[in-house]
């Protein structure tokens, strides 16, 4: 980089990132931001201390939107963590996976169909209730106005903790199809004493099914080996 008078200049930040990002998408995004800052720095004719305190040099919303647009132009699409994101900006996200139903039923020792498993946030008694899929603002508003039906075990997506926060305390239980036991939703459900499974995988679970969830299982160990974690997962059982 050069000063306006041609003198060589060096940006003060290259050594701050000695390691690559954990994913290609993060590395690309950060790389584009660094490149843009370096270009602005080179063209400014200012030293670094002057630049970072100059409001006129701040990156704008338009800058970040262009970085995103350039990324999407390559064909990349973001993973969906909330149904509402896909509804509002469908061109930015990968299609939502269809709820799994392998057609291969599995049963427990009492003959009850196993329709899913998940990591238990905290241990309480098993809960029997009705599975209700809640992934839209409209459904949350309906339950705000009309009340959450008794015995609702809410099946929500990865960002459902934010979406369902106004009615979270009224659930009999939660089954979250993403996240970990250390996620924000885990904190919220512990505070409200609402039993919760995280990172749940379901197979054959449908709207309105009467289910029993093994919330009595020990709380999942976030640092357990994969084998130990699999053995510790709580089951979701269809009871009617």
pLDDT tens-digit profile of 46-89?
Answer: 998 898 888 888 999 999 999 999 999 999 998 877 777 888 89
Residue 131 lies in a domain: yes
Task: Tell me the C-alpha distance between 168 and 158, whole Å.
Answer: 14
222 vs 16, higher pLDDT: 222
Q: What is the pTM of this model?
A: 0.70
| pLDDT given for residue 4 in this prediction | 38
Higher pLDDT pick, 117 / 182: 117
Residues 65 and 114 placed together within one structural domain of the fold: no
Claim to verify: residue 116 and residue 174 sit in the same structural domain:
yes
Determine the Cα angle at 165 with ends 237 and 122, to 5°: 45
Q: Average pLDDT for residues 183-204, to the nearest whole number?
A: 94
Domain identity same for 214 and 116: yes
User: How much of the chain, in percent, has pLDDT values that exceed 70?
Assistant: 88
SS3 for 176? strand
Q: Do 125 and 176 belong to one domain?
A: yes
Res 192: pLDDT: 95
pLDDT band of residue 18 (cuts 50, 70, 90) is low
Q: Tell me, yes or no, whether 41 lies in a domain.
A: yes
Q: Does residue 70 sit in the same domain as residue 131?
A: no
Whether residue 63 lies inside any domain: the answer is: yes
Residue 2, strand partner residues: 8
Domain contains 6: no
Q: Is 126 in the same domain as 234?
A: yes
pLDDT of residue 10: 44
Structurally, how many domains does the chain consist of? Answer: 2
Higher local confidence (pLDDT), 31 or 129: 129
Q: Are 55 and 124 contained in the same domain?
A: no
Q: What is the mean pLDDT of the chain?
A: 87
Burial class (CB in 10 A: 0-12, 13-18, 19+), 159: buried
Q: Which residue has the higher pLDDT, 186 or 87?
A: 186
Domain that holds residue 113: 106-238
Residue 11 has pLDDT above 50, yes or no: no
Q: Is the pLDDT of residue 107 over 60?
A: yes
pLDDT recorded at residue 174: 98
| Residue 176, in any domain of the structure | yes
Q: Are residues 29 and 124 in the same domain?
A: no
pLDDT of residue 101: 66
Q: Residue 240: what pLDDT?
A: 79
Q: Are residues 221 and 113 in the same domain?
A: yes
> Are both 43 and 128 inside the same structural domain?
no
Q: Which of 226, 221, 142, 210 is nearest to 180 (CA)?
A: 221
CATH number at 110 reads: 3.50.30.10
The answer to the question of residue 145 being in a domain is: yes
- Residue 3: pLDDT band by 50, 70, 90 thresholds? very low
């Amino acid at each position: 980089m050069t000063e306006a008078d041609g003198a060589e200049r060096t940006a003060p930040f290259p050594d701050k990132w000695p390691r690559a990002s954990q994913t290609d998408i993060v590395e690309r995004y950060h790389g584009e931001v660094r490149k843009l800052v370096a270009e602005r720095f080179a063209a400014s004719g200012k030293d670094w201390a002057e630049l970072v305190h100059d409001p006129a040099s701040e990156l704008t919303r338009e800058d970040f939107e262009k970085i995103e647009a350039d990324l999407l132009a390559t064909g990349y699409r973001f993973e969906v963590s909330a149904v509402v994101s896909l509804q509002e900006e469908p061109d930015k996200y990968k299609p939502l996976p269809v709820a799994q139903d392998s057609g291969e039923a599995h049963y427990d020792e009492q003959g009850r169909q196993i329709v899913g498993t998940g990591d238990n946030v905290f241990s309480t008694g098993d809960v029997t209730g009705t599975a209700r899929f809640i992934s839209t603002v409209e459904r949350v508003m309906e339950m705000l106005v009309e009340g959450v039906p008794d015995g609702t075990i809410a099946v929500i997506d990865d960002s459902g903790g934010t979406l369902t926060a106004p009615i979270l305390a009224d659930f009999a239980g939660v089954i979250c199809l993403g996240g970990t036991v250390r996620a924000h939703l885990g904190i919220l459900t512990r505070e409200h004493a609402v039993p919760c499974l995280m990172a749940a995988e379901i197979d054959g679970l449908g709207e309105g099914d009467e289910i029993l969830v093994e919330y009595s299982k020990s709380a999942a160990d976030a640092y357990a080996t994969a084998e130990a974690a699999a053995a510790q997962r709580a089951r979701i059982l269809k009871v009617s």
